[in-house]
C-alpha cells in the first residue's frame, strides 16, 4: 500500500511538472521575456516542484537529526502543504485537460495551468481557515445504569434533583504537537478548552506528532500545565506517541498534569471508571476483556498498594508511588489483571485511540467509548475512503449498549487543511 501511494505521489508530481512546463513555455512569449529570463523561470520552477516534493520526506527521516528547528520545521510544513496541493492540482489539471478535448483548446493551453493553480489556491485557503476554526460538538448522554454513589468529597460529579450524577467532560484527540501545531496554536486550544469549564478532560492519543524534540524546544508543557479540570486530565497513547518514542513521551508528560493510561484503569471518585487502552502499536497490549478485568467497585481507592502507580489529582498535584492517593483514583501497572468487583457495577469510559472492533466492545457493555485517529481522512476525497475503512469513522453514535464518539481530531497530521471534514472537540454532558 505504501509503495502504491508513493508511486501515485511521484506520478502526480511528474504530471504537474510536465503541465507546468508546458504552461510556462506557452505564457513566457506573451510577456516578451528574454531567453535568459525564460531559462531562469524554468530552473526556478523545477527547483520549487522537486524541492517541495522531497522536503516532507527529508524532514521525516531527519526528525531526530541535529538540524536547526527552523530548517526542519520549514521542510515539514512545505512538504505537508505540497501533499494536498498535489492532490487538488492534479484534479484541477485533469478537469482542464478533459475540457480541452471538447472545446477550443488554445486559451486552455496558455492559461489552463494558471486557472488550475488559482482554483487550488482557493480550495486550500478555505481548507486552512476551516482547520483553524474547530467545531465544538456537544452531546448529552444519560446512562441507564441507575444511581451510582461516590465519595462525599469527590473531585467532580454534581447531582441533579433526582440524585443522579452529572459530569461535564471535554474530550479531544490528535493534537499532533510539533512543527505544524506549535505552542501558539496550543495556547488557543487550551484557552478554548478551559472556557468550556470541564470537570474532566480526556485525550484519545496522538498528543505528539512525529518527534518530541520540537515540543520540548517550545516548552509546550507550560501550556499543557494551564489546562484546568478539577477531576483530572487523562490520556492514552496513540500511534504517534510510539513514532515519537513512547519513553520520551512518558518523560515529557511527567512535567504536565496529564495522566497517561497504558492498559490501566482509574477508579474515579465521582463514580466512574476510566479505562485507558494502550495503542495497537504495542502488540502485547491487553485485550479489552483483560482491561475490563481491572475495573473495581465504584468509590475509588484510598491507598496505593505495592505495584500500583498513583495518579495526579488535577491542578498538577502528584501522589507519589507508595503514598496515599488522596481521592486521586488509581492507575494499575500495565499487565496487572485483577478484579475487586463486577464491571457492571460502575459506568466504564473506554479510551482507545484507534476505533477498531467497536461492535465487539459494544457487546461487553462499555458505557462510553472515545477514540480518534481517523481524522476522517482530513480532506476530500480521502474522507470517502476512511468512511469505508472503519465501522464508525467520526461523530457520535449510540450502539446497542455503548455510546461511541470518534473525534475527527482537534488538529491534524501534516497538511494544515480541512476540506470536506472538520476539526472538533467534544463536550459530553454525562448523566449517570
The answer on 182 and 34 residing in a single domain is no
Are residues 232 and 115 part of one domain?
no
Model pTM score: 0.85
Residues 99, 152, single domain; the answer is no
Domain boundary among 76, 111, 129: 129
Return the pLDDT at 157.
Answer: 61
291 pLDDT above the threshold of 80: yes
| Same domain for 160 and 31 | no
Do residues 220 and 339 share a domain? yes
94 and 155 both lie in a single domain: no
- 110 and 142 part of one domain: no
Domain shared by 81 and 150, yes or no: no
* Residues 222-246: tens digit of each pLDDT: 999 999 999 999 999 999 999 999 9
Asked whether 387 and 401 are in contact (CB, 8 A), the reply is: no
In terms of domains, do 48 and 147 share one? no
Report residue 161's pLDDT band, with 50, 70 and 90 as the boundaries.
low
Condensed to tens digits (0 to 9), the pLDDT of residues 162-180 reads 667 899 999 999 999 999 9
Note whether 146 and 263 are same-domain residues: yes
Domains held by the chain: number: 2
The Cα 307–Cα 338 span in angstroms is 12
Q: Which of 111, 129, 147 is the last residue of a domain?
A: 129
* Residue range 319-349, pLDDT digits in tens: 333 222 222 333 333 333 333 334 456 899 9
- For residue 15, what are the domain limits? 2-129
Q: Assess whether 298 and 211 both reside in one domain.
A: yes
> 224 and 153, same structural domain?
yes
Q: Which of 103, 129, 155 is the last residue of a domain?
A: 129
Main-chain dihedrals φ then ψ at residue 139, nearest 5 degrees: -135, 140
pLDDT band at 140 (very low <50, low <70, confident <90, very high): very high
Amino acid at each position: 500500500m505504501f509503495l502504491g501511494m508513493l508511486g501515485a505521489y511521484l506520478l502526480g508530481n511528474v504530471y504537474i511538472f510536465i503541465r507546468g512546463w508546458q504552461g510556462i513555455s506557452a505564457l513566457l512569449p506573451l510577456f516578451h521575456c528574454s531567453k535568459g529570463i525564460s531559462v531562469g523561470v524554468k530552473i526556478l520552477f523545477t527547483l520549487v516542484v522537486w524541492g517541495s516534493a522531497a522536503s516532507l520526506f527529508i524532514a521525516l527521516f531527519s526528525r531526530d537529526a541535529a538540524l536547526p528547528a527552523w530548517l526542519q520545521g520549514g521542510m515539514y510544513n512545505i512538504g505537508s502543504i505540497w501533499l494536498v496541493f498535489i492532490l487538488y492540482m492534479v484534479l484541477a489539471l485533469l478537469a482542464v485537460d478533459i475540457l480541452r478535448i471538447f472545446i477550443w483548446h488554445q486559451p486552455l493551453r496558455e492559461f489552463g495551468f494558471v486557472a488550475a493553480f488559482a482554483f487550488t489556491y482557493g480550495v486550500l485557503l478555505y481548507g486552512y481557515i476551516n482547520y483553524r476554526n474547530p467545531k465544538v460538538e456537544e452531546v448529552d448522554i444519560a446512562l441507564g445504569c441507575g444511581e451510582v454513589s461516590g465519595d462525599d468529597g469527590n473531585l467532580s460529579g454534581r447531582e441533579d434533583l433526582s440524585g443522579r450524577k452529572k459530569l461535564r467532560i471535554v474530550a479531544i484527540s490528535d493534537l499532533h504537537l510539533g512543527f505544524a501545531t506549535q505552542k501558539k496554536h496550543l495556547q488557543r486550544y487550551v484557552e478554548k478548552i478551559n472556557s468550556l469549564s470541564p470537570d474532566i478532560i480526556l485525550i484519545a492519543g496522538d498528543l505528539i506528532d512525529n518527534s518530541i524534540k520540537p515540543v520540548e524546544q517550545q516548552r509546550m508543557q507550560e501550556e499543557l500545565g494551564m489546562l484546568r479540570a478539577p477531576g483530572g486530565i487523562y490520556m492514552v497513547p496513540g500511534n504517534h506517541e510510539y513514532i515519537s518514542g513512547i519513553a520520551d513521551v512518558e518523560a515529557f508528560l511527567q512535567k504536565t498534569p496529564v495522566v497517561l493510561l497504558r492498559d490501566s484503569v482509574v477508579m474515579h471518585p465521582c463514580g466512574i471508571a476510566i479505562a485507558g487502552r494502550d495503542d495497537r502499536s504495542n502488540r502485547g497490549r491487553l485485550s479489552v476483556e483483560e482491561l475490563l478485568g481491572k475495573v473495581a467497585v465504584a468509590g475509588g481507592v484510598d491507598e496505593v498498594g505495592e505495584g500500583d502507580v498513583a495518579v495526579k489529582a488535577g491542578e498538577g498535584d502528584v501522589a507519589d508511588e507508595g503514598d496515599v492517593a488522596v481521592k486521586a483514583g488509581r492507575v494499575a501497572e500495565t499487565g496487572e489483571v485483577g478484579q475487586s468487583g463486577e464491571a457492571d457495577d460502575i459506568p466504564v469510559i473506554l479510551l482507545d485511540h484507534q476505533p477498531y472492533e467497536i461492535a465487539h466492545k459494544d457487546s461487553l457493555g462499555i458505557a462510553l467509548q472515545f477514540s480518534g485517529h481517523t481524522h476522517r481522512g482530513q480532506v476530500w476525497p480521502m474522507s470517502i475512503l476512511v468512511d469505508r475503512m472503519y465501522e464508525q469513522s467520526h461523530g457520535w453514535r449510540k450502539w446497542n449498549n455503548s455510546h461511541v464518539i470518534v473525534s475527527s481530531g482537534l488538529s491534524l497530521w501534516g497538511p494544515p487543511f480541512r476540506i470536506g471534514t472538520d476539526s472538533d472537540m467534544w463536550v459530553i454532558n454525562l448523566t449517570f
